[in-house]
Amino acid sequence: MKILIKILSLLPMCVLYALADGLIYPLMFYVVRYRRKLSYKNIRESFPEKSEDEIRTIQKRFYHHLSDVIVEIVKSYRASKEDMERNITFLNLDLLQQLAQQLGGVITMLGHIGNWEYTADVQRRWTDPSIQHYNVYRRLKNTSSDTAMTQLREKRSGKGSCIEKNSLLRHLIRIKQSKQKFTLGLIADQKPSPGNDYYWTDFLNHDTGFLGGGEVLARKFGLGVVYVHITSPKRGQYIARVDLITDNPAQTDPYYITEQFARRLEANIREQPELWLWTHNRWKWKRDVV
């Protein structure tokens, strides 16, 4: 896996996009038909007001975008700081740095939207280099794929910046004890699984369970919380805007942070629906199951 990424990352971006258009997209959409029924169902149920033609257009645009994300992640293995500055623009970073300096740490909540992997490049954008950005991730079942993805992320955030979700609490305690200023990237639109506690709300026309871990951690450690709003003005370019959810989690009502994340993510998706990960089996479990 790593060797293949190294080889493909040598190709110019224009060649990789041609590969996405001419091979990856038709292979996923027409040949393998990768989760086509699931993605159609998710989009159709999320936008009942849209026509059949609009739903099919969103679906095809999504698979084109997913093909782009695959080659963009590969290319990022060799991407320089200047390359990444062209690929993703961060807005309101001053707010993020101020919160990290004032509160000691900030949770940056985002979804699987745009090229979420690019957001790890925020570490190279600080004017205050003492702030460390960490990425929370779920370990992949395939060991070689997991290792390759971890190395890709750490090329932009620094060695040791990836924290596996099951060891997150232990790491946060150590980070707080060391008094290091930090930001914590948390992708918070994962599907619920049986046996865990979830907050339920209406989201994209579905009764949807959300993980409450970000809110729990913010309250426990007194961390600020922001939402990262991602859009794509043109192919290969993304804008990540930092929006404040709260700088005082202890003073918010229960589930306020999680509800705010759900509302902002939904608005973000409605803005450019093809950018969200529709092949994710987001609504697999129902409220009475979990």
Tell me: the pLDDT tens digits for 217-233? Answer: 999 999 999 999 999 99
Domain membership flag for residue 128: yes
- Domain coverage including residue 133: 85-275
Domain membership flag for residue 59: no
Domain membership flag for residue 132: yes
Instruction: Please name every residue paired with 244 in a beta bridge, in sequence order, or none if there are none.
Output: 226
The structure's pTM equals 0.93
Mean pLDDT score of the chain, rounded to an integer? 92
On whether the CB atoms of residues 112 and 120 are closer than 8 A, the answer is: no
pLDDT above 60 for 96? yes
Domain membership flag for residue 223: yes
Starting at the earlier edge strand, list the strands of the sheet with 105-110.
88-91, 237-246, 224-234, 105-110, 182-187, 132-137, 162-164
Longest alpha-carbon distance in the chain? 55
Domain membership flag for residue 184: yes
Domain membership flag for residue 34: no
* Strand ranges in the chain using DSSP code E only, listed in sequence order: 88-91, 105-110, 132-137, 162-164, 182-187, 198-203, 206-211, 224-234, 237-246
Domain membership flag for residue 64: no
Both tokens of 250, joined, read 């202890």
Which of the 8 DSSP states describes residue 116? Answer: G
On whether the CB atoms of residues 156 and 123 are closer than 8 A, the answer is: yes
On whether the CB atoms of residues 135 and 168 are closer than 8 A, the answer is: no
Question: How many separate domains does the chain show?
Answer: 1
Once rounded to an integer, what is the mean pLDDT over residues 268-282?
Answer: 97
Q: Please write the tens of the pLDDT for every residue from 5-39.
A: 888 899 999 999 999 999 999 999 999 999 999 99
Q: Could you tell me which residues come within 8 angstroms of residue 232 by beta carbon, excluding any fewer than 6 positions away?
A: 65, 114, 238, 239, 272, 275
